[in-house]
Amino acid sequence: MDSRQSSNDLTSEQWNDCQRGDTPLEKPVSERRTTHKGIIYFALIFFILAVATLSSRRWGFRSPATPRFHDCGHTPTEARRRGCHFDVLSFAWQTPECYDRETTEAFRTHSGTWRFFADVDGEDMRTEDEALTGEYLTTFVTAQFHWTHCTYMWRQLHRAYASKGFIDEHLDNWNHTLHCQAVLLSPPVQEKMLDVNTLGRVIYPRCRKIW
């Protein structure tokens, strides 16, 4: 605005009026271009700020309903660091959203204390405390554990869809439902209930938001 040469056709008075903005004189072309550029830059900066604000809301300041992690990693240490819990009902490390403490606890105390074994012969016993650490890759349990597991998975499935709004991929697997139906349709005979015939393998299922 310091160059009067660019407005040769205006008298000094007109120029001053123009600067005050109370004379509807057209600005020189070069100046109009500058104004358009200014608008474009302003729009660009506004757009960048808007995107930055929205993404910081999404990634920086999450609402409590948004999970921090979708699974518990691959090791118990990693799982604990992610705030996960070991779910003895499925031998699964669960994210906070998918951990159903109520169902898991009801299962844990369903009939006294479950018996856990390091070997398939059922000789090397593990305490419940040991089993609940989730540190053992494999654990052997009884036929009764397996049968009862399926009935509690049914409860957990119902709660996941009806009240929790999150489900882990193990519970959500149609194959698992078919498997449990088969188990429930051909229950172990009473005298076989305490047989150690089921292998529990520790899993790290992904947790999915249902609604």
Ligand X SMILES: *[C@@H]1O[C@H](CO)[C@@H](O)[C@H](O)[C@H]1NC(C)=O
Residues at the contact surface with ligand X, assessed by CB under 6 A:
173, 175
Q: How much of the chain is helix, strand and coil, in % rounded to 5?
A: 45, 15, 40
> Which runs of consecutive H residues, i.e. helices, occur in 26-117?
29-55, 76-81, 101-108
Q: Which residue has the CB atom at the shortest distance from ligand X?
A: 175
The DSSP H or E segment spanning 174 is: helix 174-185
Q: Which is nearer to ligand X, 140 or 168 (CB)?
A: 168
- Of 116, 129, 126, 98, the C-alpha closest to 204 is 98
Residues contacting 51, CB < 8 A, separation 6+: none
CB of 169 to ligand X, least distance (A): 8
The DSSP H or E segment spanning 149 is: helix 143-159
Q: Which is nearer to ligand X, 113 or 173 (CB)?
A: 173
Q: Which is nearer to ligand X, 75 or 177 (CB)?
A: 177
CB 111 within 8 A of CB 175: no
Q: Which is nearer to ligand X, 55 or 173 (CB)?
A: 173
Reduced to 3 states, what is the DSSP secondary structure of residue 153? helix
DSSP 203: B
CB of 210 to ligand X, least distance (A): 16
CB of 161 to ligand X, least distance (A): 18
CB of 175 to ligand X, least distance (A): 4
Q: Which is nearer to ligand X, 110 or 176 (CB)?
A: 176
CB of 168 to ligand X, least distance (A): 13
